[in-house]
Amino acid sequence: MDPYIFGVFAIAYIFTFVWGLIKHQKTASAILFLVIIALIYDNGILALGHVIGEGQLLEYLSYGRFWLHALFTPTLILFSLYIMREANIRLAHKSWVGYVFGILMIVAIVLQYSFDLSGLKLSLQEPYGVLSYASTHKASGPPLMILLVMMALFIAAVALVWKRKWWWMLVGTIVMTVGSAIPFDIESNAMTNALELFLIATLMLTAIHFSKQAKNK
């Protein structure tokens, strides 16, 4: 069942991407599109594992999943900065705040490379019908990169609620954080991906809303 679920997620991300292309005003928060591209690829490869079949091709494509995740997911830290600027939150326009968020993104990428990509080894696995090459390293908790990303998103989300009474980004961030901490007793590995989809949808809604405001200033 999971391959079909991941296929639905990939299609949903494609629709989100197209929706953003149509509605977003091409401001700096468009950096979110990079993350969506990575998620289309990630869910697409998981959905098509059995179609591609066991072998080097699937293994190479699976390495791509890990690299795109490591390089593109940290850009959500910059997205957090840009969305605050587009919402005209004064503190976000200060140069030192930009440096802090930029350094945080670089640190997140370095941490992800050091702990997940350096020496990455994949093995063939088939949980819940999904044929894929996954890391042989079993993480004991959420990656430090993800913690930094979620921290940046939370800061921006709280600022939007406080200054602009915009709740959607905070709702998405809280649902993602709380949902990831709950050990759902279901025969599927797709729950985290479902939470990610909800988060990205709220981020795109936020980006569209404030990109229009930024263009109209």
Contact of 75 with 34, CB cutoff 8 Å: yes
Q: Please name each of the domains of the chain with its CATH number.
A: 2-216 (1.20.1070)
* CA within 13 Å, CB half, 190: 21
Q: What is residue 154's three-state secondary structure?
A: helix
Q: Which two tokens stand for residue 69?
A: 């995740």
What local confidence, expressed as pLDDT, does residue 80 receive?
A: 99
Contact of 1 with 188, CB cutoff 8 Å: yes
Confidence of residue 182 (pLDDT cuts 50, 70, 90): confident
What residues contact residue 39 under an 8 Å CB cut-off, 6+ apart? 9, 13, 196, 197, 200
pLDDT tens per residue across span 54-109: 999 999 999 999 999 999 999 999 999 999 999 999 999 999 999 999 999 999 99
Phi-psi label, residue 129: left if phi above 0, alpha if psi -120 to 50, beta otherwise = left
More confident residue, 189 or 197: 197
Please write down the long-range contacts of 89-97, taking CB distance under 8 Å and 24 or more positions apart. 89/159, 89/160, 89/163, 89/164, 91/159, 92/159
Name residue 133's beta-bridge partners. Answer: 124
E-assigned strand segments in the chain: 122-125, 132-135
pLDDT tens per residue across span 116-166: 898 899 999 999 999 999 998 776 677 899 999 999 999 999 999 999 999
